[in-house]
Structure 1
Amino acid sequence: MDANIVKLGVIGLGNIAQQHINNILQGEVENIQLTAVCSRQQPENELAGVQHFSSYQQLIDSGLVNAVLIATPTMSHYEIAQYALEKDIHVLLEKPIGLSAYEGEKLVASTQPGTQFALMLNQRTDANYVKIKQIVDSGVLGAITRTHWTMTNWFRPEIYFQASDWRATWKGEGGGALVNQCIHNIDIFQWICGVPVAINGFCEFGKYHDIEVEDEVTAYFRYANKATGVFVASTGEAPGVNRFDVIGDKGSLHFDSGKLIQKLNKQSTQTFSRNTTDMFGMPEVATTDVTVNDKVNQHAIILNNFVRAILFGEPLMTPAHAGLASLDIANGILMSSWTNQQVSLPLDRQAYQQQLERKIASSKLRIKSNIQATVDMSKSYR
């Protein structure tokens, strides 16, 4: 193989895989050649010079690829990624890393030296989330005291679930809103605000849809510094809300409807509180619109980084192990809801896995609807 080209195989040819393929074919990714694809059925439109396989093992063993992008249903992520990693094939895996953090931990542990293993945590490239992280990391807000993200803008109509046999089942996906849509938000939440030490989760299962998994969630977080957090999610609410608040002792950030507002106090809240003689006083505050309007091709950025990591040793922006924390939180919310008890982090991943396996044992894949669904992937990103 050309040492300056990554020869990529794409496993799975669903909606998100097609977007990755289009990025490659349209020249959005450098130093890469699409050499093989894999799906259970032969695609209607074959790509010139790209070989089709019906078995992921055959694709990985073909000698045509030195890297794979896995974009299959969640239930197969562990099996396919493990096989590729065992063969020293570089892996870029669609989220989540597995049905559980337990599966993800085993995958990360099986990665051999020199093999690049990345996860498609593409929202870490969103310009406003990057800005929020920079501001929080700078310390200008002071110690974080409270966080709150209401993300109910993931509305999905019934056809979204009925068009597949695996979505929104314990067996096929290991959960619903938390591990599918909101795993991105939870990843950004912990990337910026850190991992809580305790979770109280309250989930509604099949409240809005004919599904067995969660489609509405409220979770309460406690952090090591006594900060608190709330995460609210839904796939059944329209119109939805996407509002993210980070409150610190010296100021706050508020991201809502695409606008990012920074508020900085002239004095820290605690300093003002302990020194003022004004019974109804408030610190003076300066409010600034710090919205970043740059639009980026998030998926292409992650794929380009993956390629450069393979060819030139560039550090991965989203190494696979980075996906474990968000899955721990999602798993912890579910476990707390199932047991009606507070769950401590670090998560007991094996205990959660045992609970999940009991759910899987009574779960079945659905019969796919024969209704022709309209698909516009641009509407799926919120």
Structure 2
Amino acid sequence: MKKEFGFAIVGTGLISTTHYEQISAIKGAKVAAVYSRSEEKAKLLAEKAGSDWYTDYQEMLKSKEIDIVSIITPSGTHADMAIEAARAGKHVIVEKPMDISLEKAQQMIDVCCENHVKLSVISQHRFDPPAVKVKADIDSGRFGKMILGQASVNWYRPQSYYDTSKWRGTKEMDGGGVLINQAIHTIDLFQYFMGEVESVYAHTAILAHERIEVEDVAVATMKFKNGGLGTIVGTTAAYPGLSARLEIIGTNGTAVIENDQLIKLYLRNANDEREAINIAGFESHNREESNHASVNPAALDGASHRLQFTDLINAIKEDREPVVNGEEGLKPLKIIIAIYQSARTGRPIQIDDI
């Protein structure tokens, strides 16, 4: 087994710095290549990483220095680029959403399997200590039956966010708006905690931005297969940028995660009394509101990305599935696609029917 795994960073958008910094911080990993259609951007990041750079994707995939391809290009290109990488024998880690098409996302999974390479979909918040704690308590039965959940992502993106990138806000490349781009991580944790979704009923609208084709306001109700109910609310018009908040309620416990911090956790013990939970160790470092992802997409704490990169490396070494493999990455995408179908048709959508 190799002592050092070479990553290729494919795309030089806002999140590329996080990928570069977190891969570089892992012992036994390095950034071996950078790809961008822009020679200037490829060179700039490659100089920081001390790596090769490419503007020809197929040529880059020939490099024997690359073991893992990290795809952070516009969402509508994810599957096509992942499939090419898999056919070249490279393992793949792809930013959310894994693609904007369920058919292409499934093809990505199938091709990676056929070529015996690992596929991981970025859902870094599953690795956050608060999420790990809550999930463990749910799985152990301490929450009892999961009965209600509320997810809200009330963030702010100015008009310039969409105007400065031609692909943002388009159905062809973005696939959708606040749900598939900003809220997808919260939706992923929502279903991760509450269980499989049975159906959704939703409304979406474009109410606060110009020259975009996708929603900047969305509301949805959900029914889970275990009988629980839930709501999702999302917007990119909540000036100046509020919080991402997830509330989950079981018959024996309640938890609230807000801006990646576990701010409330109550569990009832066997004597029907509330158990005092020390949550101090699960809080993230406080940041100024102006430097938070709710208003600034570049303001991202990359520690959980690093954990997911490390998990993929270990999955390769141990020949196992990554924690967030293709099938897991497909789950929040299915929910969001179902929400879009419901909003378009004006009727409830069964998840198993899409």
Instruction: Pick the TM interval, shorter chain.
Output: 0.7 to 0.9
Letter in 2 for 1:262: L
Question: Is residue 2:117 matched to residue 1:115?
Answer: yes
Alignment partners' CA distance in 2, 1:93 and 1:302 = 11
1:37 aligns to what? Answer: 34
- Contact 1:198–1:342 (CA under 8 A) maintained in structure 2: yes
- Contact 2:91–2:117 (CA under 8 A) maintained in structure 1: yes
1:174 aligns to what? Answer: 175
Matches within 5 A, 1:1-382: 3-25=2-24, 28-43=25-40, 45=44, 46-47=46-47, 50-111=51-112, 112=114, 114-152=116-154, 154-238=155-239, 239-256=241-258, 258-265=261-268, 285-286=274-275, 288-291=277-280, 292-293=282-283, 297-313=303-319, 315-348=321-354
Aligned length: 330
Alignment partners' CA distance in 1, 2:64 and 2:31 = 13
- Give me the TM-score of the superposition, normalised by structure 2: 0.86
Distance 1:141 1:162, change over 3 A: same
Alignment partners' CA distance in 1, 2:237 and 2:263 = 26
1:287 Cα deviation after fit: 5.5
Distance 1:178 1:6, change over 3 A: same
- Contact 1:140–1:250 (CA under 8 A) maintained in structure 2: yes
Letter in 1 for 2:242: G
Distance 1:325 1:347, change over 3 A: farther
Alignment partners' CA distance in 2, 1:169 and 1:189 = 26
Alignment partners' CA distance in 1, 2:273 and 2:20 = 52
Alignment partners' CA distance in 1, 2:59 and 2:162 = 30
Unmatched tracts of structure 2, length 5 or more: 286-301
Letter in 2 for 1:90: H
1:322 Cα deviation after fit: 1.0
Alignment partners' CA distance in 1, 2:234 and 2:304 = 22
- Contact 2:255–2:262 (CA under 8 A) maintained in structure 1: no
1:234 Cα deviation after fit: 1.0
1:99 Cα deviation after fit: 1.0
Distance 1:41 1:243, change over 3 A: closer
1:77 Cα deviation after fit: 0.7
- The two structures, once aligned, show a CA RMSD in angstroms of 2.3
- Contact 2:118–2:321 (CA under 8 A) maintained in structure 1: no
1:24 Cα deviation after fit: 3.3
Alignment partners' CA distance in 1, 2:244 and 2:67 = 39
| Larger mean Cα displacement after TM superposition, 234-243 or 337-346 | 234-243
1:206 Cα deviation after fit: 4.5
| Larger mean Cα displacement after TM superposition, 108-117 or 95-104 | 108-117
Distance 1:267 1:202, change over 3 A: farther
SS in 2 for 1:214: coil
Letter in 1 for 2:3: N
Distance 1:67 1:230, change over 3 A: same
Unmatched tracts of structure 1, length 5 or more: 269-282, 349-382
Write out per-residue CA displacement over residues 33-87 of structure 1, whole angstroms, 9 at most, x where no aligned residue. Answer: 3222111122353527522211211111233322211111112111111111112
Distance 1:244 1:24, change over 3 A: closer
Distance 1:138 1:212, change over 3 A: same
- Contact 1:305–1:314 (CA under 8 A) maintained in structure 2: no
1:169 Cα deviation after fit: 0.7
2:295 aligns to what? Answer: none
Distance 1:8 1:262, change over 3 A: closer
1:288 Cα deviation after fit: 4.0
1:217 Cα deviation after fit: 1.0
- Contact 2:199–2:223 (CA under 8 A) maintained in structure 1: yes
Alignment partners' CA distance in 1, 2:149 and 2:19 = 33
Distance 1:184 1:347, change over 3 A: farther
- Contact 2:75–2:97 (CA under 8 A) maintained in structure 1: yes
Alignment partners' CA distance in 2, 1:301 and 1:106 = 26
| Larger mean Cα displacement after TM superposition, 70-79 or 236-245 | 236-245
- Contact 1:67–1:89 (CA under 8 A) maintained in structure 2: yes
| Larger mean Cα displacement after TM superposition, 84-93 or 308-317 | 308-317
Alignment partners' CA distance in 2, 1:141 and 1:116 = 33
- Contact 1:31–1:307 (CA under 8 A) maintained in structure 2: no
- Contact 1:5–1:311 (CA under 8 A) maintained in structure 2: no
